């Protein structure tokens, strides 16, 4: 019971942010950007045994949330632990709130600490959402694809090329390799054609359309069945007992292939009652 109460409190209570926390930088978008950089840049330069220039905004040491993110211990999907103080949470967002409130001093304190979320347009953080294959995100990607502007992509590509120069180490034999990795894995995709070809965006959009079609088909079938049953109910309620029994016999004859009606005492009694009532009226 106590555990249920604690979970409810975590879900519903919103703690005030301390003065030291940086609310201008999105932690979630920074996480998306960090994951993209790890896959497209960090792992590759690590295999080359070379480091980025510290002037590079993508340098891991300049990441504003790096120290806090390293404190997260994720045993499984619903188990998140702060390795700094040992507190346990069942969702990552509650651990994020805990880090903002209790460990804000661990935010990046180096000079020119970088908010990676500010580079989401260049890195394509929106595409990191494809892991959540939902209709809403599929529609969002479709609209962004349709409304893509080439001039905006040119500006982003120019910014990316400047970052590539900043990230290139000056005194390393592998400097050209670092520049080429950034250009090929990040900058070259900043076109309306290539920007949306990363990951499985097309698959997400296809699944979104299929889901929308299924929902629409289900609604149409439901309304058709509802209309059919309403008309059937109204028609049956308007029939007399004689008509109902007659209809039942006709149906049985059709189904069983019988050449004669089944005997129904109720039908006979109802017919006699109708005849007597008619005779009285005639008198």
- For the chain (283 residues), the mean pLDDT of every run of 10, in chain order, is 45 38 77 91 88 91 89 82 86 87 77 90 77 50 69 93 91 80 91 68 56 84 89 70 63 55 50 53 51
Q: What's the pLDDT score for residue 118?
A: 94
Q: What's the pLDDT score for residue 277?
A: 52
State whether 37 and 149 are in the same domain: yes
User: How many domains are there within the chain?
Assistant: 2
State whether 198 and 251 are in the same domain: no
State whether 137 and 265 are in the same domain: no
Pick from 222, 177, 165, 181: which is nearest to 39 by CA?
A: 181
State whether 128 and 13 are in the same domain: yes
Pick from 4, 19, 202, 148: which is nearest to 90 by CA?
A: 4
Angle at 136 between CA 133 and CA 140, to 5 degrees: 100
For residue 93, is it within any domain? no
For residue 150, is it within any domain? yes
Angle at 127 between CA 125 and CA 129, to 5 degrees: 90
Examine the fold and report which residue of 164, 195, 210 is the final residue of a domain before the chain moves on: 210
Q: What's the pLDDT score for residue 158?
A: 95
Q: Give the residue numbers spanning the domain of 276.
A: 239-283
State whether 266 and 191 are in the same domain: no
Pick from 41, 18, 176, 200: which is nearest to 116 by CA?
A: 41
Q: What's the pLDDT score for residue 172?
A: 67
State whether 204 and 248 are in the same domain: no
For residue 243, is it within any domain? yes
Residues whose CB is less than 8 angstroms from the CB of residue 60 and which lie 6 or more positions away in sequence, other chains included: 42, 52, 66
For residue 132, is it within any domain? yes
For residue 77, is it within any domain? no
Q: Please, which residues bridge with residue 76 across strands?
A: 79
């Amino acid at each position: 019971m106590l555990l249920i109460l604690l979970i409810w409190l975590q879900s519903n209570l919103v703690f005030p942010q301390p003065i030291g926390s940086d609310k201008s930088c999105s932690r979630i978008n920074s996480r998306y950007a960090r994951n993209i950089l790890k896959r497209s840049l960090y792992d590759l330069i690590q295999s080359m045994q070379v480091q980025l220039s510290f002037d590079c905004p993508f340098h891991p040491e300049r990441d504003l949330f790096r120290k806090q993110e390293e404190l997260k211990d994720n045993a499984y999907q619903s188990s998140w632990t702060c390795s700094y103080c040992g507190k346990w949470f069942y969702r990552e967002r509650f651990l994020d709130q805990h880090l903002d409130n209790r460990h804000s001093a661990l935010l990046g304190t180096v000079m020119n600490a970088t908010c990676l979320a500010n580079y989401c347009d260049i890195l394509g953080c929106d595409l990191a959402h494809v892991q959540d294959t939902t209709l809403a995100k599929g529609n969002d990607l479709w609209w962004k694809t349709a409304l893509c502007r080439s001039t905006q992509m040119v500006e982003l590509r120019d910014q990316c090329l400047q970052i590539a120069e900043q990230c290139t180490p000056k005194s390393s034999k592998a400097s050209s390799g670092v520049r080429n990795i950034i250009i090929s894995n990040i900058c070259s995709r900043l076109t309306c054609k290539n920007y949306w070809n990363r990951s499985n965006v097309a698959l997400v959009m296809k699944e979104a359309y299929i889901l929308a079609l299924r929902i629409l088909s289900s609604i149409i079938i439901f309304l058709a069945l509802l209309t059919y049953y309403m008309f059937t109910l109204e028609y049956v309620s308007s029939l007399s007992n004689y008509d109902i029994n007659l209809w039942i016999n006709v149906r049985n004859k059709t189904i069983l292939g019988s050449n004669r009606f089944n005997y129904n005492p109720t039908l006979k009694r109802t017919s006699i009652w109708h005849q007597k009532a008619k005779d009285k009226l005639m008198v």
